Amino acid sequence: MRMEVEILVKPPSRRASEEALRELRRSRAQAVMLNLPENISGLVQDLVLGAIGYDDFLEEIEKKLPSPASAWIKGYERILTSGFEAEKIPEVYCYGDVISFKAEAEEAVQLTLLTLRSIITNRVNVEEWLKILQERSRLREISSRREAEKVADISVRYEKTICISDRTPTHIKSRLEKERIKPRVHYLGQPYHFTPLEVLSRALSRRRVSREELERLIREHIEFVREYVYRKPMLEAIDEWSMKKLYWIPGPYERKQV
């Protein structure tokens, strides 16, 4: 049996979420893996099968995820409620590492507080930002490896699966290839411009970043929050950000395949 995994890389934008929804509807995959915390996998399967309604689902995940739980499934709402046709509902799994997820949730709160403090004072405590971002980078590396193991373990059971990833799937792709499973990677929501914090996080994971670059990107992040996130829901804010930064592109690219 020739096993294949279609990896959909979904940045946190509304357009990418809509494209992911279309891909799921056209697919004939036997299983779908979502980058949501593994401890809500059973509830997600119940929701997809119609065993529980969406309001009940939200109530149940409040018991398992940091509050507000709805914040941690942003970008997946449409997929969860209308991503699967009744006649061909696949097995649905969540593969997100729970321990790292909870730690990242706490760090997200800390970053939000730092952002608000900087907006009020117009000052940036570079050391505080750096400490949190470096820890987040370390946790993401660990969780990415764990999640790659889970994805591989699920994928060997099916001929065709779809894996939705919120980040560049380096470890997932490598781990699947070790199992002789063919990965096909598609980037959704293109063209997409990374937010300042995404740019900084990627830089920290790859090289030494100067204090000047740190402060510049942190201030760009603060401006992004002030000018976009305060005025619109996050996914729409990111779409608008990308549109402004990539104004010179005449039209959206077709889906890119690697």
CA distance 65 to 15: 26
Mean confidence (pLDDT) of the chain: 88
- For CA atoms 158, 162, 167, 169, the dihedral sign is positive
CA distance 123 to 112: 15
- Half-sphere exposure of residue 51: CA atoms within 13 angstroms, side-chain side: 10
Confidence of residue 86 (pLDDT cuts 50, 70, 90): low
CA distance 115 to 111: 6
Confidence of residue 83 (pLDDT cuts 50, 70, 90): low
Look up the domain containing 174 and give its range.
Answer: 4-257
Q: Rounded to two decimals, what is the model's pTM?
A: 0.87
Instruction: Please count the structural domains in the chain.
Output: 1
Whether the CB-CB separation of 141 and 100 falls below 8 Å is answered with no
Q: 34-71 pLDDT, tens per residue? A: 999 999 999 999 998 889 999 999 999 999 988 778 88
Residue 153 burial (CB count, 10 A): 13
Confidence of residue 254 (pLDDT cuts 50, 70, 90): very low
Q: 205-230 pLDDT, tens per residue? A: 888 889 999 999 999 999 999 988 88
